[in-house]
Structure 1
Amino acid sequence: MSKRALTIGINDYPGTDGDLAGCVNDARDWGAVLGAQGYEVSTLLDAAATRDAMVAHIGDRVAGASAGDTVIITYSGHGTWVPDRSGDESDGRDEALCPHDIGDGKMLLDDDLHALFDQRPAGVRVVLISDSCHSGSVTRGDEADLDPALPRARFLPPASWMSLAELAACRGRPAALMGGMTRTGGDLLLAGCRDTEFSWDTQFRGRPNGAFTYYAIKTLHTLLPGASYQQWFRAIRHYLPSTRLPQSPQIFGSRSARHFELFT
């Protein structure tokens, strides 16, 4: 059995006004965590994380795995949407991750991810951790580590990169964000927030990070050996949502998948 991971972090979005600060740190942090768990880790940062590179690296890890292997993909960057052309989205939109070359109209659709994950051989476990756009309800969470600087949403409005013709085709459609990401395939999706919310790019103790990534990694150190993804998720929800970080992390997958032992 092998364990392979790909961590993606994009702060730099040329041709848009949407640069972020914490995504590269997120990717490096996930790489350190997964490396310590015995994963062979590859990382795509900023200019290396083009659409073509993301497709190639995800496809290599998923299709190249064998029964009993585990593949984990982490993504930190912007999310966006485009008009749905296949008719499979009730809101008329396909949700997408934003590669470095989104300014050239390149995006990674939820449909693309589904097709990539469908290449996995039988018996391969696939986990996607997405700290990107979604956003919503405000409750009280522990904010002791959060710096006072205002956070930035990890959502890239289509108007910042989409053509006027494409934008015109979307008028009057509902404003749901990343709902389609729940259909990407694989065993588990851990998302930074609901499909009506944003994930936040912010700063903790002077260091930029995504809020979901920061608390996900922080809580790993509080879990007992053999803890499950469901137990990890419950620990994260101690911190999110909070007053200044109104995002509700989500976990999608079968009951048995939620109770997989972490990183096995």
Structure 2
Amino acid sequence: MAKTIDILCIHGLGNHTDGTWEGRWETAVREAFPIPADSELKFSFLNYDRIFQETDLSFLETMRALAKLGWSGISSPFRSKRGLFSGVTDRIRWTAGYVVAWCADEEFKARTRKLMLTEIAKRKPDIILAHSLGSLLSYDAFAHDDAKAPAVSKVLKKAVYVTFGSQLNNPFVLRNLTNGRIGVLEVDFWHHLYNRHDDVFTRPIVNIGADNFRQTLTPFDIEGIADHDATEYLGHPQTVADVWMPYASLMGESRRTIKAVRGITGRREKEQKALLVGINDYPNASDRLDGCVNDVFTMSELLQRGGMPASSIRTCLDGRATAQGILERLGWLLDDPREGDELVFYYSGHGARYPEYGANGEPDHFVETLVPWDFDWSEATSIADKQIYELYSQLPYECRLVMIFDCCNSGGIHKNGGARIRGISPPDDVRHRELKWDTKTNTWVQRDFERINAEFTSDKEVFNKFFSANGATERLGRSSMLRGLSEKQYEALKKKEPDKTRGAYLPVIIEACRADQYSYEYRHGVTSHGAFTFNLAKILRDRKRISFEDLVSQTKAELADLKFDQEPCILGPREIVKSNVPWMG
């Protein structure tokens, strides 16, 4: 008896009323999908254009949306701000407008959600293909409590879901649609196809730690906006290898899933891994430090004393610690996370803070950054939160990531005859962004940057930990730009959908000093170390059991005894901060 595979296709934004997209998609899938001779494909198509055609957007609204989506969408160091608005087609502009309008309108989302779930229950697809905005609409529907209705959930649990050309992990969408976190869907398997050349605000999705999720890289670079074309995704050789061929191989084996064919066995033994970065030998002689490489070896010793295998520890030192070098190794550290994993990222070197341009083309906030060996005060050579949030913000909550920074981010000047400061100040042309001329006093004064998220919390201490005392700083390791809920919205969501209130993953972050202080080097006899790292290591060697919170508190006391004006800080989930350090001898 012939096996029929029902495929539901959900288009992206644009006028699809002429029906030409349907034939193109069907042809692309039929050519790529090697089904057995005794099977057949049945296609159905979901068109939601009529809902969006009822919403009129002005040119000004679409340009504002372009700024919101486009600016957040170029947070990768591999994309350039230059030319963001040049050559923008109407299709791209209106895509931005409708994505932003839909994210902000609960009634809008409710209408599309109802349409999606009704069609799923009616058509009972085996495979769901969702392109561009269609991936947002379908994800929102499948992740909602309404999808738990038996008529829907029964279908989804057996369905393969394929998203492509998707804006789902665009920071603006992630913040406003999913509270900073992409949830695990109750589907048989979710494939996310990502083309790095697709400029229609798309983003990769990594490290969500779900056994039924896999991202497939499908690079193609075609002149114009064809890099966003659905049929190019569907017929890509890697899509054939990762999606169509595994599915075809399961035909007639009803009790097996895509996970089985891929060799995904589910839970594995927990892993311990560490990436340790130290930079002494900066290109500029005046920026060079003495103790950072020593700090790396100290941390490696401590971790190995605590039972972490030497083979699980990678170091990145001096000239190899470029921005690209650090990011590549962070990719290794955070790859394929699972519950119970213990991960450590340690950095010893310079830190910095600089004013950055916002969506309106004017400087409007500060960015904290580590200072790689090749740092030149540009986004491409920074290790700021926007460079790494994609790697850690979706980690499973049960995975433990500890980030330790022995640097300062407020800038600094080396003190002649005294301890070196682990921070550098911006050159005057960069510093000029944060200044304005005050005609009343005839002096240069600081610009007043607006708070990034003034309603985040009324707790001043907590707010400062996420956005600094000025309220306008993207702090490292916080995923601060994904945390869009105000206290009022948080409480409302907690009552309605409590599972969504936790938001983006928060590591345990241990810093050598406050945001307004300096981190110093310490000379122990003739050997240089970071003052913070030296004292932290001394405590870890002496104590058999200590919590993260007490470790930082005792390190603070040790530094005070040595007359260092720096106070280590800690931020992280309360239950982890109060738990014992797992890697102790």
TM-score, structure 1 normalization:
0.83
2:391 to 116, 125, 133: 116
Q: Which amino acid aligns with 1:150?
A: G
1:62 to 319, 334, 337: 334
- Contact 2:277-2:296 within 8 A present in 1 as well: yes
Q: Which amino acid aligns with 1:34?
A: L
For structure 1, the residue ranges without an aligned partner over 5 or more in a row are 136-148
**Which whole-Å CA distance do the structure 2 matches of 1:243 and 1:104 have between them?**
33
Q: Which residue of 2 aligns with 1:153?
A: 421
Query: What is the CA-CA distance between 1:179 and the residue it aligns to?
Result: 7.2
Q: Which structure has more strand as a fraction of its residues? A: 1
- Contact 2:350-2:423 within 8 A present in 1 as well: yes
Query: What is the CA-CA distance between 1:183 and the residue it aligns to?
Result: 1.8
1:239 and 2:525 matched: no
Superposition pairs of residues 41-120 of structure 1, within 5 angstroms: 41-86=313-358, 92-103=365-376, 105=378, 106-120=381-395
Change in CA separation of 1:84 and 1:241 when aligned onto 2, cut-off 3 Å = farther
Query: What is the CA-CA distance between 1:178 and the residue it aligns to?
Result: 7.9
Q: Which amino acid aligns with 2:418?
A: L
Q: Which amino acid aligns with 2:398?
A: G
Q: Which residue of 2 aligns with 1:215?
A: 535
Change in CA separation of 1:202 and 1:19 when aligned onto 2, cut-off 3 Å = same
Query: What is the CA-CA distance between 1:86 and the residue it aligns to?
Result: 4.4
Q: Which amino acid aligns with 2:275?
A: L
SS in 2 for 1:111: helix
For the aligned residue pairs, the C-alpha RMSD in angstroms reads 2.6
Deviation digits for residues 156-208 of structure 1, max 9, x if unmatched?
1111xxx72x3322222479798713625543011000000010023112210
Q: Which amino acid aligns with 2:515?
A: D
Q: Which residue of 2 aligns with 1:143?
A: none
Q: Which residue of 2 aligns with 1:202?
A: 522
1:168 and 2:426 matched: no
Query: What is the CA-CA distance between 1:258 and the residue it aligns to?
Result: 0.7
Deviation digits for residues 2-48 of structure 1, max 9, x if unmatched?
10001100011114621111111111111111122232210000011
Superposition pairs of residues 135-150 of structure 1, within 5 angstroms: 150=418
SS in 2 for 1:129: strand
Change in CA separation of 1:132 and 1:173 when aligned onto 2, cut-off 3 Å = farther
TM-score, structure 2 normalization:
0.39
**Which whole-Å CA distance do the structure 2 matches of 1:212 and 1:167 have between them?**
28
Change in CA separation of 1:63 and 1:118 when aligned onto 2, cut-off 3 Å = farther
Q: Which amino acid aligns with 1:215?
A: N
**Which whole-Å CA distance do the structure 2 matches of 1:48 and 1:150 have between them?**
29
More displaced, 74-83 or 149-158?
A: 149-158
- Contact 1:230-1:259 within 8 A present in 2 as well: yes
**Which whole-Å CA distance do the structure 1 matches of 2:474 and 2:563 have between them?**
23
Change in CA separation of 1:223 and 1:91 when aligned onto 2, cut-off 3 Å = farther
Change in CA separation of 1:38 and 1:222 when aligned onto 2, cut-off 3 Å = closer
Q: Which residue of 1 aligns with 2:407?
A: 132
Change in CA separation of 1:104 and 1:94 when aligned onto 2, cut-off 3 Å = closer
**Which whole-Å CA distance do the structure 2 matches of 1:242 and 1:150 have between them?**
17
1:250 to 566, 569, 573: 569
1:13 to 259, 273, 282: 282
Deviation digits for residues 61-112 of structure 1, max 9, x if unmatched?
113322211100000000012223347xx98210100001014741111232
Change in CA separation of 1:242 and 1:128 when aligned onto 2, cut-off 3 Å = same
Deviation digits for residues 112-156 of structure 1, max 9, x if unmatched?
233321142452110001000158xxxxxxxxxxxxx62111111
Aligned residues: 244
1:181 and 2:476 matched: yes
Same amino acid, percent of matched pairs: 27
Q: Which amino acid aligns with 1:115?
A: E
More displaced, 197-206 or 172-181?
A: 172-181
- Contact 2:357-2:364 within 8 A present in 1 as well: no
Change in CA separation of 1:51 and 1:76 when aligned onto 2, cut-off 3 Å = same
For structure 2, the residue ranges without an aligned partner over 5 or more in a row are 1-269, 411-416, 436-445, 449-468, 480-504
Q: Which amino acid aligns with 2:400?
A: R
**Which whole-Å CA distance do the structure 2 matches of 1:196 and 1:242 have between them?**
20
**Which whole-Å CA distance do the structure 2 matches of 1:192 and 1:65 have between them?**
27
Q: Which residue of 2 aligns with 1:230?
A: 549
SS in 1 for 2:300: helix
Q: Which structure has more helix as a fraction of its residues? A: 2
- Contact 1:76-1:131 within 8 A present in 2 as well: yes
- Contact 1:187-1:257 within 8 A present in 2 as well: no
